Amino acid sequence: MIEALEQPVTAVNSFTKKQNLTRLIKREALHLGFDYCGIARADFQDNEKGKLENWLNNGFHGSMHYMARNPERRVDPQQLLPGAKSVISVLLNYYSSRKQSDPAAPKISKYAFGTDYHIVMIERLEHLLSVMREHVPGLEGKICVDSAPVMEKTWAQRSGLGWIGKNTNLINKEKGSFFFIGEIITNAELEYDRPLQDYCGTCTRCIDACPTQAIIAPYILDARKCISYLTIELKEEKMPPEFQDKMNGWVFGCDICQDVCPWNHFASEHNVPEFDPKTELMNMNRQEWEDLTEGKFNELCSDSPMQRAKYKGIRRNIATILQKEPG
């Protein structure tokens, strides 16, 4: 009789540990200011492997050559953390209703209004991982915030935090898509959430609104045509001529496909002080952008996502908008 009871008791204890640790992680994530936290089993993403290969084979990644390096690592968490059992995904809202003061000024994406999200997200995830390790000796974890080959939107979708919309952004049913995504891959076995169904329906507003027709089909983005790619990732001295008249005033990033999404009617102001819009940046007028020097750029954007485009890239984008030679 004792032998017959040992396995069920062990199973109950194991379940209780998973349940308690899962609750602890989600509670601490919310305490740290994350808006949502979900968890998925860290298994091989066979379906995503084919999609990624097709996307890369079509050259849709453009000059982002890092996307094509070791693509198998993007679909297999074991490649990043041997023994991985769970992927914890978190969302952090960055939405702001504030507008730039001069309607004629070059436009920057909402996600670049404040401090670089890498700094904010990594600090909070490091704290979350530290708490996990305090409760589970020997626990291993790898933090990912655009810092590793991870398909972040796919993991967030598998964790029940939203669905991947036709514009290829993750959409949360309660608050839209203005979120940063981060992960912790861990060897801890946890309780797993269910994926959320797609609620885009027949809507095509994001596809119809894109000035460069970068969303070539529902759920397929040709990054080479995307204004965000063109203003940030593309390192050419001049903007490709076919896009020079289609930038819609954007100098860094683009929010068009998110601004027109009906689900972003539910977007609410973020609660992260670091993401508060920088007043001087928001108050720059068109002439000040045109006269922007490298010194002023570094002063304004020392801890901004805009550093990714570098001063040279920003100058090129400004010249494109103003229809002038880069200088």
255 is catalytic: no
CA 120-126-129 angle, to 5 degrees, is: 140
pTM of the model: 0.92
Return the ∠ at Cα 39 (arms to 37 and 41), rounded to 5°. Answer: 165
Instruction: Identify which of 249, 311, 314 has the alpha carbon closest to the alpha carbon of residue 105.
Output: 249
- Measured between alpha carbons, how far is 161 from 170 in angstroms, rounded to an integer? 8
pLDDT confidence of residue 293: 97
The pLDDT value recorded for residue 286 is 96
Are 186 and 144 a contacting pair, CB within 8 Å? Answer: no
Catalytic residue, from 43, 102, 146, 259: name it: 146
CA distance 260 to 29: 30
- pLDDT beneath 70, residues of the chain: 1-15, 324-327
Whether the Cβ atoms of residue 81 and residue 141 lie closer than 8 Å to each other = yes
Q: What is the pLDDT of residues 136-165, one digit of tens each?
A: 988 999 999 987 778 999 999 999 999 999
